[in-house]
């Protein structure tokens, strides 16, 4: 059965349904409800901004770690910041003072400044990225990565011929040439430029993947005390090309 309600009856029924607002009339409800929605929106915006700030701080920490890896030393003392400043300028990336670097690393305990965009961009370029946004996007990819089909160019080592050579390069201006020694995954270093891998060392590798880090296993040579692993292109990955025999 349907009941036809006049506007007055409809309003009366609606007021009666608002039992959770016994102290307020209908006029008060229509005043308070928008404020309640606004409060929810402000809470949502606040939480979103906080999450973004927390994520930025995480990426800043990773950027510091990437710079330390690039420098092959911890960045914690006065001389470390001087060396880093000089290295950045030497590579024609930009000019950034040791004091600015100290602020970003929290060297001054009584200061907690927000990192400047320019500082973030300079350091991101130093570790192989276009800017901090590119660095952050790469970190997002790593955080969201679980498994996926590899779509990059790949060279499987078991398909290479004995004595076939492959050139590997990565940022910044690192280059080696490996020669296949006939075993499925055994290579020797025949050329090296700006790399810790010296000519004569032997390494094991299963495949080379463009724009991905290259893990070399069981690295051996007279220059090192014991076998170890080595990663090329930890930041930004590698590029490669086959050179033939």
CA distances from 194 to 122, 171, 190, 191, 213 (A): 22, 10, 14, 10, 17
Write down the pLDDT at residue 102. 92
- Other Cβ atoms less than 10 A from the Cβ of 67: the count is 21
Same domain, 55 and 140: yes
Task: Look at residue 60 and tell me if it is in a domain.
Answer: yes
The closest of 70, 64, 74 to 139, measured between CA atoms, is 64
Same domain, 123 and 69: yes
Confidence category of residue 217, pLDDT binned at 50, 70, 90: very high
Residue 71 has pLDDT above 90, yes or no: no
The closest of 186, 183, 168 to 227, measured between CA atoms, is 186
Same domain, 130 and 202: no
Main-chain phi, psi angles of 187, to 5 degrees? -135, 155
Write down the pLDDT at residue 22. 52
Same domain, 133 and 191: no
Same domain, 119 and 164: no
Write down the pLDDT at residue 210. 85
Domain that holds residue 176: 154-244
Least confident of 126-140, 161-175, 196-210: 126-140
Task: Look at residue 176 and tell me if it is in a domain.
Answer: yes
Which run of H or of E encompasses 121?
helix 117-126
The domain boundary, picked from 126, 144, 162, lies at: 144
Same domain, 127 and 171: no
Question: What are residue 216's DSSP bridge partners?
Answer: 230
The domain boundary, picked from 84, 118, 144, lies at: 144
Task: Look at residue 13 and tell me if it is in a domain.
Answer: no
Same domain, 163 and 129: no
Task: Look at residue 187 and tell me if it is in a domain.
Answer: yes
Same domain, 89 and 111: yes
Residue 130 has pLDDT above 60, yes or no: yes
Report the chain's mean pLDDT, rounded to a whole number. Answer: 80
Same domain, 231 and 183: yes
Which run of H or of E encompasses 240?
strand 238-244
Do 189 and 198 meet the contact criterion of CB atoms below 8 Å apart? yes
Main-chain phi, psi angles of 238, to 5 degrees? -120, 170
Same domain, 54 and 133: yes
- Other Cβ atoms less than 10 A from the Cβ of 46: the count is 10
Same domain, 101 and 127: yes
Least confident of 45-59, 77-91, 167-181, 229-243: 45-59
Total number of domains in the chain: 2
Residues of the chain above pLDDT 70, percent: 76
Pairing of strands 228-232, 154-156: unpaired
Same domain, 89 and 57: yes
Residue 47 has pLDDT above 70, yes or no: no
Task: Look at residue 75 and tell me if it is in a domain.
Answer: yes
Task: Look at residue 230 and tell me if it is in a domain.
Answer: yes
Task: Look at residue 138 and tell me if it is in a domain.
Answer: yes
Measured between alpha carbons, how far is 108 from 242 in angstroms, rounded to an integer? Answer: 50
Beta strands in 62-110 (DSSP E): none
More confidently predicted of 41 and 179: 179
Confidence category of residue 220, pLDDT binned at 50, 70, 90: very high
The domain boundary, picked from 144, 170, 198, lies at: 144
Task: Look at residue 122 and tell me if it is in a domain.
Answer: yes
pTM to 2 decimal places: 0.46
More confidently predicted of 232 and 69: 232
Do 234 and 215 meet the contact criterion of CB atoms below 8 Å apart? no
Write down the pLDDT at residue 26. 53
Measured between alpha carbons, how far is 65 from 187 in angstroms, rounded to an integer? Answer: 30
Could you read off the pLDDT of 83-99 as tens digits, one per residue?
999 999 988 889 999 99
């Amino acid at each position: 059965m349907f009941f036809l309600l006049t506007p007055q009856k409809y309003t009366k029924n609606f007021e009666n349904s608002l039992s959770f607002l016994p102290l307020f009339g209908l006029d008060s409800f229509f005043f308070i409800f928008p404020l309640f929605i606004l409060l929810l929106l402000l809470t949502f915006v606040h939480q979103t901004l906080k999450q973004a700030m927390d994520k930025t701080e995480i990426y800043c920490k990773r950027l510091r770690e990437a710079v330390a890896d690039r420098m092959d030393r911890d960045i914690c003392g006065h001389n470390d910041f001087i060396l880093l400043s000089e290295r950045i300028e030497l590579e024609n990336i930009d000019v950034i003072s040791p004091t600015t670097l100290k602020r970003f690393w929290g060297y001054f305990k009584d200061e907690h400044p927000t990192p400047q965009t320019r500082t973030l961009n300079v350091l991101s370029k130093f570790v192989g990225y276009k800017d901090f946004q590119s660095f952050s996007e790469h970190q997002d990819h790593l955080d969201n990565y679980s498994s996926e089909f590899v779509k990059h160019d790949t060279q499987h080592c078991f398909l290479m011929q004995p004595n076939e050579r492959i050139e590997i390069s990565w940022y910044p201006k690192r280059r080696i040439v490996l020669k296949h020694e006939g075993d499925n995954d055994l290579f020797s270093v025949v050329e090296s430029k700006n790399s810790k891998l010296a000519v004569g060392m032997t390494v094991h590798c299963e495949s080379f993947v463009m724009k991905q880090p290259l893990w070399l296993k069981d690295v051996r040579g007279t220059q090192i005390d014991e076998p170890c692993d080595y990663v090329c292109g930890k930041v930004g990955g590698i590029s490669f090309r086959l050179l033939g025999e």
